[in-house]
Structure 1
């Protein structure tokens, strides 16, 4: 059972080895108050974690012991004292911090349950609704921490505890000079990623390191829905935006509000109706700026409205007093002016899923142009993952000399700006190449041959076999528009029927602006 003391691998406590000389024993009473009951584990920094009893208040406690104490334990004790000042239902309560020089220890709330790390290790990745609920609780805890001017510094699946009663609590603050409110917020994206995929997007070292994320050639982690089917697009976008340092991080309060909205939608199973993300404090995650609460923002907005109304009244009076014209339409002073801050830019539009219909897709099968199962093409865009276009069974994974491959052509009717293609297949191991072109050369063998030859791949690199059943492609040029998109299979996975190679394409989703 994992309790407090679990977290990311750091070098902060390398000077503190696991207790050996004068090691504590079950039954020993520390500070004439805390009786050690059971050694639970050693955390990633080498500190012992014990379950104990507060013999005065008769309540269970968790105790984190470090050897030696003194100067080398100052950071641990200071973090504990700071954490004790924040009371929140999603934070582990800190009761005491004691330095005996030879050893130091922190006394904390005991939580009956397990860490997110252990939960995912035993049960596998969580469903989206549960992942959202856990991230919401963690973000809410961070909002309380940040409101005091503190930083947590150790948001991690090992320090995220799920109690037996369902409560989610964040433990073991370890902030140092390198941590910030922004790094805390981005770590919530890591917790979401881990809950959804079972992999950690941040590189770790050490004996308790988490499984690393699948990465592309540049080292960037694959999006959750590239690894696992059934993850809503908005949740995938939120997770990746939090991890992407090119995207401004929200404040913890704004993230809590957004996750709360998604949490409520998840309870009602309204995943498709939540709409775009609504961060009200874009860029508020900078560690150099104070965390602002929603009431203060509302007061500020109200004040601006009052000022605007007063300004409008005086402006109208000034216009009426001039006597130059009764037609305000001809009076430049009566025309609205842009009094706002010109440096404030409207938020960039977010891509939306494009509605695809049966008349927009057809099967491509060179060189024979076989159309025996062409009617199945419509199943790839019908919104039902249980229906599919199924290939025939082939003797080898690549099509070889028979043909280069086969696929589905999408005609959007007019050129559009695109952002991503998502392909859901019946099994991993298919090699999929997404290509684009300027025209359809005809629904026949010769047209298919020319189409496959002339269409260009989104990527300059050779397509690789998919590692999951959902694969996303995002190589579209934002300065170009596209009308024709070809989802082309060049290699098949082994058939689940025991012989040959085949696959089904269950859904194709296209996002754009």
Structure 2
């Protein structure tokens, strides 16, 4: 067993892959030694169900992190122990209880919290992967698309936390985990009352800055829980001018889009009020699109959107960089209109006149038009329903509306079947989506309850009655496949982006062909937590 007084971040290697749990507060060089009296041992069984397998690391808060196994549910877990328990473990246990109330795919799941006086421990989800700090240290700064995706995941997790009135309070590159499957999860929330939702949002700016540049912008006065400048876990400070002001990401490295640069700097600017976490998550979701489609280069200046009738978000009304970009955009539109008008007045049939040069557009040309493409955004889903053509009972139709409620904590789920192929008597089941009107669609994203599912996305042009016969007709008519099917998918998010840019879509069918096996091995079942459609 590794020494209990080793460095703050130790890792184990399994087959060449680093296995690690969220770092929490990182230790300083002067951190006191972790109390080891009565320390656990390999094979010890806690609460008659959690078997300790291997010691992973210690941290400056006096906690020991172990990899373990829940012998009842037969799943890997992380066990975080503190010696002693009682009053000294109150903050850790309170944070665990609070975290257990918020279920979100981008938050580490908390399973149990136990105080035995001489020790206390928290049992949580085991994550195979690396922290953002480790990943950037190993591979260097990330491309804008990946940094945006991580920022979106973190903001979405914070939105779920903030919706309960709580704060995370410990957001930094060491508590942002990226699993081997690419899932981004946030770990080690705190409840000591020293933070606010605003400080959480400022920390999102810090995470974006770190992902884009490899530098931490909070220097010697980090946000609570972030420990740049301390000990072995030190993070490189941002480049600063003589007055101490940090350099923008675009000044540190090339290729960072202007609007992503502005968003990051505005989140770090104490003079600009940040948006709420749900608004920030929605805007980052709008920008979180596949890198190979290069929408990040076409998305234009960042604008926080608001529903009709709502007040504009704080950043939409803020002055500074985006106001200048907005004015430049208006001038560009005016110039396009002026040139088109001059061309029209000049008479298109006079071959003796030189043609007026037309301004180019960064948007893809469609039919020879120079119209600027509409910005990509989250499309409103008008209606959803379950499609189940091979069932006589039709008892799995309820709950479809949960896939469009804006959160991943609840969704529609199938019954439990005795095989992946729906008990060998169904070809599949699905969720039918009505966008209310034809739209240019860029992607559809389905958030699932577990890995191992197989599914495909189909498109059609007609609605059918919600009956067995109507469902049969719908499945037969929806023959257009969008992108490639996902077979035995190893993630919990499926993103379909093979839409024809010259076509408009109103009706889509997320069609599940195989179910994943349940964790306890008692059958096959799938939950569809949320469906999100991006387009214009």
Instruction: State the TM bucket, normalised to the shorter chain.
Output: 0.5 to 0.7
1:7 to 21, 24, 37: 24
TM-fit CA distance, 1:41: 1.3
Identify if the C-alpha distance between structure 1 residues 275 and 162 changes in structure 2 by more than 3 Å, giving closer, same or farther: same
What is the distance in 1 between the residues matched to 2:94 and 2:178? 25
1:245 to 248, 257, 270: 270
Which residue is equivalent to 1:231? 256
1:65 to 53, 69, 81: 81
Which residue is equivalent to 2:112? 96
Partner SS state of residue 65, structure 1 = strand
Which residue is equivalent to 1:45? 61
What is the distance in 1 between the residues matched to 2:277 and 2:52? 37
What is the distance in 2 between the residues matched to 1:139 and 1:16? 34
TM-fit CA distance, 1:279: 2.2
1:118 to 134, 139, 142: 134
CA contact (8 A) 1:8 1:156 kept: no
What is the distance in 2 between the residues matched to 1:163 and 1:5? 11
Identify if the C-alpha distance between structure 1 residues 279 and 41 changes in structure 2 by more than 3 Å, giving closer, same or farther: same
Residue 50 of structure 2 is aligned to residue 34 of structure 1: yes
Partner SS state of residue 179, structure 1 = coil
TM-fit CA distance, 1:180: 0.7
Which residue is equivalent to 1:219? 244
TM-fit CA distance, 1:276: 2.2
What is the distance in 2 between the residues matched to 1:190 and 1:219? 16
TM-score after normalising by structure 1: 0.54
TM-fit CA distance, 1:350: 2.3
Residues 470-496 of structure 1: CA deviation (Å, up to 9, x unaligned): xxxxxxxxxxxxxxxxxxxxxxxxxxx
CA contact (8 A) 2:62 2:83 kept: no
Residues 169-224 of structure 1: CA deviation (Å, up to 9, x unaligned): 11110132221111111111111111111111113334422222222222222111
1:77 to 88, 93, 97: 93
What is the distance in 2 between the residues matched to 1:258 and 1:221? 24
TM-fit CA distance, 1:3: 3.7
2:167 to 146, 151, 169: 151
Which residue is equivalent to 2:180? 164
Identify if the C-alpha distance between structure 1 residues 8 and 237 changes in structure 2 by more than 3 Å, giving closer, same or farther: farther
Which residue is equivalent to 1:187? 203
TM-fit CA distance, 1:47: 1.6
What is the distance in 2 between the residues matched to 1:220 and 1:187? 17
What is the distance in 2 between the residues matched to 1:185 and 1:346? 18
CA contact (8 A) 2:22 2:176 kept: no
List aligned pairs for 1:192-203, cutoff 5 A: 192-203=208-219
Higher helix share: 1
Which residue is equivalent to 2:297? 272
Partner SS state of residue 158, structure 1 = coil
CA contact (8 A) 1:9 1:44 kept: yes
TM-fit CA distance, 1:9: 4.8
CA contact (8 A) 2:31 2:60 kept: no
Identify if the C-alpha distance between structure 1 residues 149 and 346 changes in structure 2 by more than 3 Å, giving closer, same or farther: closer
What is the distance in 1 between the residues matched to 2:82 and 2:51? 16
Partner SS state of residue 288, structure 2 = helix
What is the distance in 2 between the residues matched to 1:277 and 1:142? 20
What is the distance in 2 between the residues matched to 1:265 and 1:243? 26
Identify if the C-alpha distance between structure 1 residues 41 and 226 changes in structure 2 by more than 3 Å, giving closer, same or farther: same
Bigger shift: residues 72-81 or 199-208: 199-208
Identify if the C-alpha distance between structure 1 residues 81 and 267 changes in structure 2 by more than 3 Å, giving closer, same or farther: farther
What is the distance in 2 between the residues matched to 1:132 and 1:81? 30
| Runs of 5+ unmatched residues, structure 1 | 282-296, 305-343, 356-381, 384-513
Identify if the C-alpha distance between structure 1 residues 257 and 345 changes in structure 2 by more than 3 Å, giving closer, same or farther: closer
TM-fit CA distance, 1:256: 0.3
TM-fit CA distance, 1:253: 0.4
| Runs of 5+ unmatched residues, structure 2 | 1-17, 220-227, 330-359, 362-536
Partner SS state of residue 95, structure 1 = strand
What is the distance in 1 between the residues matched to 2:273 and 2:71? 49
Which residue is equivalent to 1:20? 36
Partner SS state of residue 351, structure 1 = helix
TM-fit CA distance, 1:99: 1.0
TM-fit CA distance, 1:146: 0.5
Which residue is equivalent to 1:455? none
CA contact (8 A) 1:2 1:115 kept: no
What is the distance in 1 between the residues matched to 2:47 and 2:106? 28
- Which has the higher Rg, Structure 1 or Structure 2? 1
Partner SS state of residue 352, structure 1 = helix
CA contact (8 A) 2:27 2:59 kept: no
List aligned pairs for 1:394-473, cutoff 5 A: none
1:141 to 157, 176, 181: 157
Which residue is equivalent to 2:324? 351
TM-fit CA distance, 1:165: 1.0
